[in-house]
Structures are given as structure tokens and as C-alpha cells.
């Protein structure tokens, strides 16, 4: 698989990564099986999908434990990207960016991951109670201590920006400018996909101009863009899509033109090319600094997603995909 470089620290990863979140969190939890997830991670590494994206809050904690079981055996094959700064309660999630907490969280992640260094340590959420420079300063000290190789920033707050009527990533970019004064950002992680293209406006160019890597989260539209979900099929109670406005039967039907467009392009490239692969190839075409991290717990889907790295879309394909309507249905 082709390799791409993430940010100031010049870290090399496979062009397509593996989002490990669905193995322990968020989607179809009844299908979460440890042994299959382990096989999935091993197969992804075998195929050059070196970037394993996890977080302490996935599970919570169990996702890192799972990744750690693989790292124990083959640390040198993997690029480990994890996150801190969010705590999971019974019915809520809260940010914690206090310096002492961040340092303890890193030590705990290192233990769970069974490694002595994290390749990319990302701030999952900025804590509104703590000046972001203090949180970032503590993360930078982890680099000095040799526990972390590079720092990443998860771009959230987009919904608040939209409500405030400003550009969707304006708050994020202001925060990024502030943390850059403390220590260089190597990677930004934010939602980007064929049906959620907002990051193309300002965030992706911001990263490109500064040599910062961009990890595309939710590149498959939480599974929708693969065309494998049944409209009105329902979701398990604890599946995030059961409460997601884009996944009501009405919105799933309304967004079908997006899937149809992906399928049209896929068909032009061969019978075995899928809508998911076209969605990922579209992301890879958005810039050399973009690394999609499709999430899956299933080995065959990890293989399929990895093979998207070899799919070259034509200018005509890209124009057609760029003209598809954005998603209908939002959290607002
Ligand atoms: N920083 C943040 O705040 C943040 C937020 C969200 C996500 N992320 C990261 O980004 C990664 C990707 O996002 P995501 O997992 O939420 O969404 P996603 O990658 O857009 O979609 C994941 C869903 O698609 C399904 N899927 C994957 N490959 C498929 C294929 N080839 N064919 C059919 N279905 C397929 C998976 O099914 P199965 O579950 O059955 O495998 C899963 O339900 C996460 O794993 C996480 O690491 C970060």
C-alpha cells in the first residue's frame, strides 16, 4: 500500500488506516467479538494499513486493551494513534483537559496499549474550563518525556459554530492557531466524506498550508455510504445511529442519491469495486496529506477498505462525486 506522511514530525503511515472504534463502541454492539476484532487488526497490518486509530473513551478503555493485545506482538508494524480528554459517565461525556489528568491518562493508555510510546496522541475534546495552551503544554511535555512521538487535534465544536452562524470549523481553527504557538500540531482529525464535505472549505486547506496531516473520521458516513444499510431496517438501541437524524427511515431514503452516485462510479471501475471503496478513493484524492480511517470490526471489510488505496478515480469521477448532494438530516 502507498504511504503518506503525517505532519511536522514526518510520520509515515499506510494511505488507508483502520478505525478501531466499532470494535468496542458506537455501532451494532451485539456483533462486537474480540477474536474477530483481533483478526481484523492483524489483517489490516498485514495489508499495510498501519495507522490504528483508537481512544481511551472507546469502550471505555476496552478498545485500547484490544489494540494492546496486537501491539504486544507486533508493535513495529503499527502506527498507534490514540486520544485523551474525554471521560465517559453513565449517560454523558465530559471533557477533562487538566494537565495532571492528561499526564495520568497517557500513562494509563500506555499500559493498556502495552507499549512504551504512542505515535500520535490526540486531544479528543478541548475542555472549556481549561485554557487550551495548558492542556497542549502538558501533552507537549509527554513528548519531552519520550511517551508520545507527535500531537494531534480532533476537530469538534463544528455544531456550535454552525449554530453561531460562523464557518463550520472556525472555532477549531482558532484553537489550532493557539496550540501551534505552544507545540506543532502533526495531525488533525475531523469528519470528512462524500456527504459531509465541510472540512474542504477551510480546515483541509489550513492543514495543507502548514504540512499538517488530516485524518478523515467517519469516511464512510457511519456506514451509510457503503450502501449496505437497509432503509428503515432499524438499529440496536445502543447504536449511535438509532438517535442520529441522518439515520431516520425518511432521511436514509432522502440520501439515496449519494449512494447511487457512488455505485455509478464503482460500476465503471469493475464488478468487484464497491461504493465504500469509491468513497475512500475520493478522500485520498483530496490531498496527499489526507488519510482516511474507516472503522470496522470485520476482517473482510478491512480488506475491502484497504484495497481502495489502489483505486484511481478519473477527473470525471471526481467531478461527478463532487456534484453529489450533501447529506440531508443533521443534529440541529
Ligand atoms: N475524533 C473523533 O471525535 C472521532 C469521531 C468519530 C470517529 N472517529 C474515528 O474515525 C473512525 C471511522 O469513523 P466511524 O467508524 O465512526 O465511521 P465510518 O468509518 O464512516 O463507518 C463505520 C461503519 O461502517 C461499517 N463499514 C466499514 N467498512 C465497511 C464496508 N467496506 N462495507 C460495509 N460497511 C462497512 C462498519 O461496520 P461494522 O461496525 O459492522 O464493522 C461501521 O458500522 C472511527 O473508528 C474512529 O477511530 C473519531
Q: Distance (Å, rounded) from C-alpha 266 to C-alpha 268?
A: 5
Between the CA of 182 and the centroid of ligand 1 the distance, in Å, is 32
Nearest residue by C-alpha to atom 4 in ligand 1: 217
Question: Which residue in the list 58, 101, 121, 224 is annotated as catalytic?
Answer: 58
Between the CA of 223 and the centroid of ligand 1 the distance, in Å, is 6
Grid look-up 427511515 returns 249
| Mean pLDDT score of the chain | 93
Choose one of 63, 220, 235 to mutate for the ligand 1 pocket test, by most ligand atoms within 8 angstroms of C-beta.
220
Question: pLDDT digits over 142-171, tens only?
Answer: 999 999 999 999 986 555 555 555 667 888
Question: pLDDT digits over 52-64, tens only?
Answer: 999 999 999 999 9
Q: Which of 101, 94, 1 is nearest to 49 (CA)?
A: 1
Other C-beta atoms closer than 10 Å to the C-beta of 216 total 28
pLDDT at 30: 78
pLDDT at 221: 95
Question: pLDDT digits over 104-141, tens only?
Answer: 999 999 999 999 999 999 999 999 999 999 999 999 99
Question: Which ligand 1 atom minimizes the distance to the CA of 26?
Answer: 16
Q: Where are the domains of the chain?
A: 3-221+283-312
Which CATH architecture fits 3-221+283-312? Alpha-Beta Barrel (3.20)
Dump strand ranges (E) for the chain. 3-6, 11-14, 18-19, 51-53, 79-84, 86-88, 93-95, 118-123, 148-154, 187-191, 213-217, 290-292
The question of whether 58 is a catalytic residue gets the answer yes
Nearest residue by C-alpha to atom 27 in ligand 1: 296
- CA dist list (Å): 275 to 18, 40, 261, 268, 308: 18, 20, 9, 11, 10
Question: Which ligand 1 atom minimizes the distance to the CA of 217?
Answer: 10
Choose one of 39, 218, 306 to mutate for the ligand 1 pocket test, by most ligand atoms within 8 angstroms of C-beta.
218
Amino acid at each position: 500500500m502507498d504511504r503518506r506522511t503525517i505532519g511536522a514530525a514526518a510520520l509515515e503511515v499506510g494511505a488507508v488506516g483502520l478505525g478501531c472504534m466499532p470494535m468496542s463502541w458506537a455501532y451494532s454492539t451485539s456483533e462486537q467479538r474480540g477474536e474477530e476484532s483481533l483478526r481484523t487488526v492483524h489483517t489490516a497490518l498485514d495489508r499495510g494499513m498501519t495507522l490504528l486509530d483508537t481512544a481511551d473513551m472507546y469502550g471505555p478503555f476496552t478498545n485500547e486493551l484490544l489494540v494492546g493485545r496486537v501491539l504486544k506482538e507486533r508493535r513495529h508494524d503499527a502506527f498507534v494513534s490514540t486520544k485523551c480528554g474525554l471521560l465517559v459517565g453513565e449517560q454523558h461525556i465530559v471533557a477533562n483537559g487538566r494537565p495532571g489528568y492528561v499526564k495520568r491518562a497517557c500513562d494509563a493508555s500506555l499500559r493498556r496499549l502495552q507499549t512504551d510510546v504512542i505515535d500520535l496522541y490526540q486531544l479528543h475534546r478541548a475542555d472549556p474550563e481549561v485554557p487550551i495552551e495548558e492542556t497542549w503544554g502538558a501533552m507537549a511535555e509527554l513528548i519531552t518525556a519520550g511517551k508520545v512521538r507527535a500531537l494531534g487535534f480532533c476537530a469538534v465544536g463544528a455544531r456550535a459554530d454552525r449554530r453561531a452562524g460562523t464557518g463550520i470549523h472556525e472555532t477549531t481553527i482558532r484553537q489550532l492557531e493557539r496550540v501551534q504557538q505552544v507545540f506543532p500540531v502533526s495531525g488533525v482529525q475531523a469528519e470528512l466524506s462524500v456527504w459531509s464535505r465541510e472540512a474542504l472549505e477551510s480546515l483541509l486547506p489550513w492543514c495543507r498550508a502548514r504540512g499538517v496531516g488530516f485524518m478523515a473520521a467517519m469516511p464512510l458516513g457511519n456506514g451509510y455510504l457503503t450502501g449496505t444499510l437497509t432503509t428503515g431496517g432499524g438499529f440496536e438501541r445502543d447504536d449511535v445511529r438509532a438517535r442520529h437524524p441522518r439515520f431516520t427511515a425518511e432521511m436514509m431514503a432522502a440520501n439515496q442519491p449519494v449512494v447511487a452516485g457512488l455505485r455509478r462510479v464503482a460500476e465503471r471501475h469493475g464488478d468487484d469495486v464497491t461504493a465504500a471503496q469509491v468513497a475512500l478513493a475520493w478522500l485520498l484524492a483530496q490531498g496527499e496529506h489526507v488519510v482516511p480511517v474507516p472503522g470496522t470490526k470485520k476482517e473482510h471489510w478491512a480488506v475491502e477498505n484497504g484495497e481502495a488505496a489502489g483505486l484511481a478515480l478519473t477527473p470525471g469521477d471526481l467531478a461527478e462525486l463532487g456534484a453529489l448532494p450533501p447529506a440531508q438530516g443533521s443534529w440541529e
